Amino acid sequence: MAKQEVLDRVIKVTGKVLGLDPSEIDPGANFIFDLGAESSQSVELVMGFEAEFDIDMDQEKALAVQTVTDAADFIAGHLK
């Protein structure tokens, strides 16, 4: 899967979980500081990414990811 496709899908899930318009989500945005994600939403994001990409991620490592681009890179690593 192309990196841009992974990023687009990460942005889509992020928008759905956080109630934001995907077109307003910057790839460099920090989930907490820029997008306002709360701790419970961070867990929802991880579950959303796992469902979107049909993967299982290490919860602790996934929750340490801070930006949209980092999430896409992290997920891309699980797809190889």
Q: What's the pLDDT tens digit per position in 3-62?
A: 999 999 999 999 999 999 999 999 999 999 999 999 999 999 999 999 999 999 999 999
SS3 of residue 30 by DSSP: strand
User: Which ranges constitute the DSSP H helices of 21-67?
Assistant: 39-53, 59-64
Q: In whole angstroms, what is the distance from residue 9 CA to residue 7 CA? A: 5
- Position 80 confidence tier, pLDDT thresholds 50, 70, 90: confident
CATH T-level assignment (fold) for domain 3-79: 1.10.1200
H/E segment holding residue 11 = helix 3-18
